[in-house]
Chains A and B, each alone.
Chain A
């Protein structure tokens, strides 16, 4: 036991002292923060300064239709195109919107001139305004009042409420649950691959450097394998924890600087942010939606999610790390790992691919079975948990996962103790089978 601790300590310390670990630890949260912060910063940068836009409307259909807003100021001008272009170049206007006389009924070749790159906002505003106006004209031509259409357009917001068995109700918002489920399962997927591969490389390193013989003359191969696997698990947990703490820190700093409103906009996620920018969505509806999202975010039972996340995170890792260790022991160098890597990574990849089906039907038979099989349960169960999973299913899946990793560890231990001392032999599955029975 003491020796496992020594091995664990070495595996842990040599890895966390590596430059690559330190770089990754700081780079990860920076990237995370950038993902949330940069859009907000960009949005706030866009707001700087009002753009003056000249509108040269040869059709005269749109007079007064372009309303000056927060960021854009429209001025209707007359005259010929060339002289107006000059004005843009001299800086009197930032852009020139040119609507030529139509060839048929539609002004097809609307053009915007500018000496700088024009914003998406201006472009889509111009397009939408012109489109709406022409649609209205057509409706009028057909004898329909455009206001009628506007009134007929309805925004329906469906609120989903879960009825619990004890009679209480909880608001749910499927998108949030899908997001949470997919996010946590992808994290587990990456963790297993990233640190499972580290276990494999560690085993190969010991084998190729030939230190293995010295070590196994002091400790049992199984102790070495377990020490390595748990040591690297702790490296992963440390990295993850540092990421959470650092991301929270950076985010907190950001909130201090830019104010909480901007930060909330950032957390609202891309969806919320995009909706707010969009013109078609009714402002109040989007507000309502966001408040609903927050309601749900606050109502989710984080206790069970965090607990099962850590459980599946570690359980899945332990199950696969043992297999990765066995692969590492069976080969002489990393290039030979390919043939064994495929069958081991297949269930993981399958889990990620099938998680799309699972979110659509989180209580269906596919979801049920995949969240029971230990090879896929760490991924699929995480997808299902935000939707609510009966306790007995969760307990069964966890028990199976524990059984699963005990089995793979036992199996890997058998391959490992023979493999680490085997050199220069091209190992195939038949050979591995022999080692297991040996």
Chain B
């Protein structure tokens, strides 16, 4: 069951096509990464899901039901360009935004105080937003994004503008939200966070979706049959040990008489056979297949275009 499905979304602006028949399906309670270079159309898609703009073609479903205005209460949105009313007090403003999302006054106050205590920002309640630092404002913005306990959370570049400490805080909050049942869709350039958090991804480039699936599947699909072995007690030079058809990418000896080699095969190989071919000549300390990083896949896919 999908929490969110977008089918063949087309969005045209005056003189360019922002989205060309893009479809994504976000499984319930997953963390879905929306990747792509700048200007690929990520924000356009996110705005359509948030009903800020309407698609020219295509359909959207939330939990199998066509998207309608009432769904805004079950979606939480953190835009890339953060912003709050500068002249308004923090508490007042958070109350206002929570109520706009349909939370009643009493519940909003209670939940806000809980979140403020959690983030240790309770003392900011009566301060004006303009008196706070950018990082502080980001925290408040995050709180108001999740205050109505939405089923679906959409974060546009959530980690930009946060320091590493707050990035970690945010990551753990995102994981916690997922654990509590939320489905999370976020766009990012930060591939490290994709590897760390995402179950699924979709890669959008030049208005089209060029790749999607689970992170594991994609990595497997783009495996380059590269292996890394740590060998010791080598009787001959490492190069002569490599089985036929393999290419040596790198070799590196360390101070303990061990050598780390990286080899690549153009075809599928059986790991056991590969290990066995080394055994007569050396001791295999460790063995692993090197899967491409999301970063590599991203760059390769985008540049291939």
- Residues of chain A touching chain B, judged by Cβ–Cβ distance below 8 Å, are 3, 6-7, 10, 14, 205-206, 209-220, 421, 434
Which of A14, A219, A220, A421 touches B87 (beta carbons < 8 Å)? Answer: A14
What residues of chain B lie closer than 8 Å to A14, measured between beta carbons? 85, 87-88
What is the minimal beta-carbon distance from A28 to any residue of chain B, in angstroms?
A: 23
| Contact (Cβ within 8 A) B96 A6 | yes
Q: Which of A10, A218, A220, A434 gathers the greatest number of chain B CB atoms within 10 Å?
A: A218
Knowing that A209-B83, A210-B79, A215-B100 touch, tell me 20 more A-B residue pairs with CB under 8 angstroms.
A6-B96, A205-B85, A206-B85, A209-B85, A210-B81, A210-B82, A211-B83, A211-B85, A212-B83, A213-B77, A213-B79, A213-B81, A214-B83, A214-B141, A217-B72, A217-B75, A218-B73, A218-B101, A219-B100, A421-B47
What is the minimal beta-carbon distance from B67 to any residue of chain A, in angstroms?
A: 13
What residues of chain A lie closer than 8 Å to B53, measured between beta carbons? 421
| Contact (Cβ within 8 A) B50 A217 | yes
What residues of chain A lie closer than 8 Å to B77, measured between beta carbons? 213-214, 217
B272 interfacial by beta-carbon distance below 8 Å: no
| Contact (Cβ within 8 A) B96 A216 | no
Least CB separation from A219: chain B residue = B100
Total interface residues in chain B, CB < 8 Å: 28
What is the minimal beta-carbon distance from A394 to any residue of chain B, in angstroms?
A: 40
| Contact (Cβ within 8 A) A218 B97 | yes
Least CB separation from B154: chain A residue = A217
B178 interfacial by beta-carbon distance below 8 Å: no
Kindly state the separation between the CA atoms of A219 and B73 in the bound complex, as whole angstroms.
Answer: 10
What is the minimal beta-carbon distance from B176 to any residue of chain A, in angstroms?
A: 22
Contact digits for B82-109, partner A, Cβ 8 Å, 1 yes 0 no? 1111111000000011011100000000
Kindly state the separation between the CA atoms of A212 and B85 in the bound complex, as whole angstroms.
Answer: 10
Kindly state the separation between the CA atoms of A209 and B144 in the bound complex, as whole angstroms.
Answer: 16
Q: Is the interface of A mostly helix, strand, loop or mixed?
A: helix
Kindly state the separation between the CA atoms of A10 and B145 in the bound complex, as whole angstroms.
Answer: 19
Q: Assuming the A-B contacts A209-B83, A209-B86, A210-B81, are A217 and B14 also in contact, with contact meaning beta carbons closer than 8 angstroms in the complex? A: no
| Contact (Cβ within 8 A) A213 B100 | no
- Minimum-distance CB pairs A-B, first 8: A210-B83, A213-B79, A211-B83, A218-B100, A217-B50, A210-B81, A217-B77, A209-B83
What residues of chain B lie closer than 8 Å to A219, measured between beta carbons? 72, 100
| Contact (Cβ within 8 A) A213 B97 | no
Q: Assuming the A-B contacts A220-B69, A421-B47, A421-B53, are A214 and B86 also in contact, with contact meaning beta carbons closer than 8 angstroms in the complex? A: no
What residues of chain A lie closer than 8 Å to B72, measured between beta carbons? 217-219
Kindly state the separation between the CA atoms of A30 and B74 in the bound complex, as whole angstroms.
Answer: 51
